[in-house]
Chain A
């Protein structure tokens, strides 16, 4: 867990960054406190044509079909030099209202933010993905898109990024089903009481995750 501004590690549950003092209030001051309504695919910079947007939308729909409880959002825009993509992504997931996503909450979202002016991109994600995604995973996803974006093919880059993200989450999901404690340790404080109880009971746990096939 890192601070969006200084990219330093912070403690889970920290109200502000102990190093730079950053919090959501600073992001609100920069981008506003009013909740903004926008579609999941918000091409504000006009990077993509209709066919390209459709291609990206279908990739996002496929992602949602594979992971019914998650969603993927894309925001393209022009940012000023002082505006940080990480901070904007953090602010977006906390303040945006995605019109076409009624059944899922923002804490289950992954937001891709692309700055057309500075030609940079970042990924932010909600609390549900804290246990499954880290900086390295998002870096791998962005690397997949990098060669396409160099050529100006934003749609292909986003599609490649989404596919890489699917692979990573599939793998993490299967691992979590086999060993959920490994992922729980990443986000939850150690449960000493339950640990003692498990030792006494002989380490017998109920599976927490389940897999569902298409009916």
Chain B
């Protein structure tokens, strides 16, 4: 009797299958004529498969560029990658964001959005400093008329210490951090810049854009923790010294000075150089055509020579190993030394 439930179950299944079978159309059955034809070797498949295609069907369809479907036209119209749509700007900055992660352009997938948001919520539960992240595309540029101070004033005036992060997907080095005034007073601009840079470094080690955002947010959260400590301790960041202009390299100063001098004195300089050149050439020409007349002195005749008796040097050029310098001392030629 223990098998009775099984039998009942089996009968139910059979009944159910039968009922399904009744709902479905009946399976085709071979007719006797078809069976006979098949046994004789005839082809029972329809001839439609082997019907020759007419030339009209072979002709390629005419492609008309103007007749693109509408969605293709929309796809081709990409637009400027650096622009943010007006409606998105409204969603970004017109009111205080409803969550810690603002992504009206849907740059993150749903799951990615949830994961990042969960971390930001965890941070919010553990810190009094609000951390709001605005996500933008890689090449997008925030319009210059949107200032962080105005956003703070409009949306976060009564929110306490807050950190805003404008993050550009795939480009962590473009990220922008804004601290609320009280936080900036406690931390200082230098520390804020260091915090940003350390977060950028953490993000840069990742290859995927979403992972970069994750790394950035984590590092930023750690930095915010220390900022909060400083704020609670009442630390006031030392006043920053006025950024001194870098001393101009000496050669640039010299170049600038020379340029200024040249612009003022180029004409007189060129004229004086030309005058000196012409004068030098003229002087050289005059000297080349100059004639010299030696003063004549009466000289007594000697050795019987009525015209000349001047004896000069004798030099040998027979051997290269006997230079002229070695022949300075003049000796009589009959000594045979030459």
Q: Which of A39-47, A51-59, A137-145, A192-200 contacts B (4 or more CB under 8 A)?
A: A137-145
* A183 and B297 contact, CB distance less than 8 A: yes
Task: Give Cα A83–Cα B308 distance, bound, in whole angstroms.
Answer: 19
| Contacting residues of chain B (157-195) with chain A, CB-CB under 8 angstroms | none
Contact A173 B311 (CB under 8 A): no
Q: Is the CB of A22 within 8 A of B303?
A: yes
A43 CB to closest chain B CB (Å) equals: 17
**Which residues in chain B, 288-306, are within 8 Å of chain A measured between CB atoms?**
289-306
Binds A, one of B43-51, B99-107, B255-263, B313-321: B313-321
Say yes or no: A93-B294 contact (C-beta < 8 A), given A12-B302, A13-B301, A85-B314.
no
Q: How many chain-B residues does the 8 Å CB contact rule pick out?
A: 44
Is A170 positioned at the interface, with any CB of B under 8 Å from its CB? yes
Given A119-B316, A149-B317, CB of A94 within 8 Å of CB of B310: no
Q: How many interface residues does A have (CB within 8 Å)?
A: 84
B233 to chain A, nearest CB (A): 90
Q: How far is the CB of B324 from chain A (nearest CB, A)?
A: 4
Looking across the interface, which residue of chain A has its beta carbon closest to that of B331?
A7
* Contact of A176 with B by CB under 8 A: yes
Instruction: Name which residue of chain A comes closest to B323, CB basis.
Output: A146
- Residue among B300, B309, B338 facing the most chain A CB atoms (10 A cut-off): B309
| A188 close to chain B: CB less than 8 A | yes
Tell me whether A7 and B330 are in contact in the complex, defined as CB-CB below 8 angstroms, given that A118-B318, A120-B316 are known contacts: yes
User: In the complex, which residues of chain A have a beta carbon less than 8 angstroms from the beta carbon of B297?
Assistant: 130-131, 183-184, 187-188
Closest residue on chain A to residue B301 by CB atoms: A13
- Set of chain A residues within 8 Å of B292, measured between Cβ atoms: 66-67, 169-170, 173, 211
A5 to B311, CA, bound (A): 10
Question: Who on chain A is nearest to B338 by CB?
Answer: A120
Contacting residue for A119 out of B286, B290, B295, B317, CB 8 A:
B317
Task: For A93, give its contact among B295, B302, B308, B325 (CB under 8 Å).
Answer: B308
| In the complex, chain A residues whose CB is within 8 Å of the CB of B291 | 65-68, 211-214
Taking CB atoms, residues of chain A closer than 8 Å to B309 are 1, 4, 90, 127, 130
B300 touches A106 (CB 8 A): no
Who on chain B is nearest to A6 by CB?
B332
- Is A150 within 8 A of B320, CB to CB? yes
Cβ–Cβ contact B294 & A106, under 8 A: no
A212 CA to B290 CA, complexed, in Å: 7
Is there contact, CB below 8 Å, between A133 and B328? Answer: no
Q: Of all chain B residues, which has the CB nearest A22?
A: B303
Cβ–Cβ < 8 Å partners of A188 in chain B: 297-299
Question: Which 7 A-B residue pairs are closest in the complex by CB-CB distance?
Answer: A138-B312, A13-B300, A123-B312, A93-B308, A24-B304, A209-B295, A139-B313
